[in-house]
Amino acid sequence: MKFLWILFAVGALFFLRRRLMDDWRFFKSDRRAWLEDKWENWIKPLLIAAVLAVGIRTFILGPYKIPTGSMRPNLMEGDRIFVDKLSYRFREPHRGEIIVFKYPLDRKKDFVKRLVATGGETVEIQEGQVHINGSRLESPPVLLERFYYNRDDWMFGKHGQVFRVPEGHLFVLGDNSAQSSDSRNWGFVPRKDLIGRAVVIWWPPSRVRLVKDS
C-alpha cells in the first residue's frame, strides 16, 4: 500500500510539472490569451462559487454549532446543524419548531430553543406541562414529551403565574428544562430577531439526522 501511495505521488508531481511547463510556455507566447484563459476557467468560476456560497449562507441555509446542553437530548453539545433561513420569510413559525434567534440580552449571540407560544397567547407552566390560553397543550407531541420546570426566581414561569406574550414576540423554552436559560429567565424574543429553523444535524457523522420538531 505504501508503494502505491509513493507511485501515485510521483505520478502527480510529474503531471503537475508538465502542466506548469505547458502553462509557462503559453504565458510567454501570448500573455493576453493566457489571462483570458485563467479568467474564464479559474477566476470567474471561483468568484461565482464564492458569491453563491455567501448568498446561500446569508439568505438560505446557514451552519450553527450547539454550544450547550440546553436542548438535550434532541441537540447535544457540539452538534453542528443547518438552519433554514428562507421559510420564515414566507410563513410564520409553528409551535414546536426549534428556532435560532438573536439573544435578546446580547444580539451579537445566537441562541437555539423550541418555540412554545406566539404573540397574543397566554402561557402557564403547570405540573411540568404548558398551558396555552387556559388549555393544556395536546400538540405537537414533542412538547408533551418534556417536563417544563417552574422557576420562581425568574421573570416568567413561576408557580401559578399566567402571562401574555406581547404581540410581535415569541416565547421559547429549552428541551432540557432544568438546565436551560430561556424565556422564563430573560423574557420574549422579538419576531424580527428570528434567524431561522433548525432542520438537520450534519455533524458528527453518528448524529446525522433531521431535527425533530413535531
Active site residues: 70, 113
Distance, first Cα to last Cα, the chain: 49
Q: Any residues with CB less than 8 A from the CB of 96 and at least 6 apart, and which? A: 114, 115, 139, 140, 142, 143, 213, 214
Nearest CA to 111 among 189, 176, 42, 45? Answer: 189
**What phi and psi, each to the nearest 5 degrees, are found at residue 160?**
75, 0
Helix (H), strand (E) at residue 14: helix 2-29
Sequence letter at residue 194:
L
Cα–Cα distance, 127 to 70 (Å, whole number): 20
Nearest CA to 83 among 65, 96, 70, 71? Answer: 65
Cβ atoms of 103 and 109 within 8 Å: the answer is yes
Return the bridge partners of 83, or none: 62, 198
Nearest CA to 151 among 132, 178, 170? Answer: 178
